[in-house]
Amino acid sequence: MMTYQQQQLENQLRRMCDDLDHYLEDTFGDRYPLHPNRPPRGKAAKVAYDGLFSTGTKFTLGYGSETGKGYLVDIEIITLSRVKPEDREEIEQAAVSHLRKIIGEYFPTRKLDIHKDGRVYKIIGDFSLGVL
């Protein structure tokens, strides 16, 4: 069971990812055809469930990683088309740049940053639950 503070942290991460999703849709939403089973942007109850992109975070303890515990940034491109590696790289770089710009707005009292950890991006820093 999640504590109130943990739920608040997770909710704020969700709002930040929704912001990222809107940014990616605005910037790259027409780059690939949408998966036929995926509703168009704005047609699902949640931002992560429609349009070309689905964004989110997943907590990891970071065993075996260089940066330790944190939240993995998950960016899915929902299409049946083959996504070119250079497009994926461009989208990931734009996403990380956007997250770096907005992370302070969503977490003004925390010292957080985004680092590449192997092949994934991770939000690391102060996740203490005594401070919101």
Tell me the chain's radius of gyration from C-alpha atoms. Answer: 15
* Residue 71 falls inside a structural domain: yes
At a CB cut-off of 8 Å and minimum separation 6, what does 5 contact?
129, 130, 132
* Residue 11 falls inside a structural domain: yes
Q: Scanning the structure block, which residue is given the tokens 């925390």?
A: 110
Q: Is the pLDDT of residue 132 over 60?
A: no
Q: How many domains does the chain have?
A: 1
Alpha helices in 29-120 (DSSP H): 85-106
Give the pLDDT score at 84. Answer: 97
Model confidence over 26-69: pLDDT tens digits? Answer: 999 999 999 999 999 999 999 999 999 999 999 999 898 888 99
* Residue 27 falls inside a structural domain: yes
Q: Is the pLDDT of residue 130 over 80?
A: no
* Residue 130 falls inside a structural domain: no
Domain that holds residue 46: 4-125
The average pLDDT across 74-84 equals 97
* Residue 69 falls inside a structural domain: yes
Under DSSP, is residue 22 helix (H, G, I), strand (E, B) or coil?
helix
Give the pLDDT score at 71. Answer: 97
The average pLDDT across 64-84 equals 94
pTM of the model: 0.92
- Kindly report the backbone phi and psi dihedral angles of residue 109, in degrees, each rounded to the nearest multiple of 5, phi listed first: -100, 5
The distance of Cα 51 from the centroid of its chain, to the nearest Å, equals 15
* Residue 131 falls inside a structural domain: no
Which of 73, 110, 111, 112 lies closest to 93, judged by CA? 73
More confident residue, 130 or 129: 129
* Residue 132 falls inside a structural domain: no
- Our CA angle for 5, 116, 122, nearest 5°, is 15
Give the pLDDT score at 119. Answer: 87
Contact 70, 123 (CB under 8 A): yes
Model confidence over 82-117: pLDDT tens digits? Answer: 999 999 999 999 999 999 999 999 999 999 999 998
The average pLDDT across 16-27 equals 98
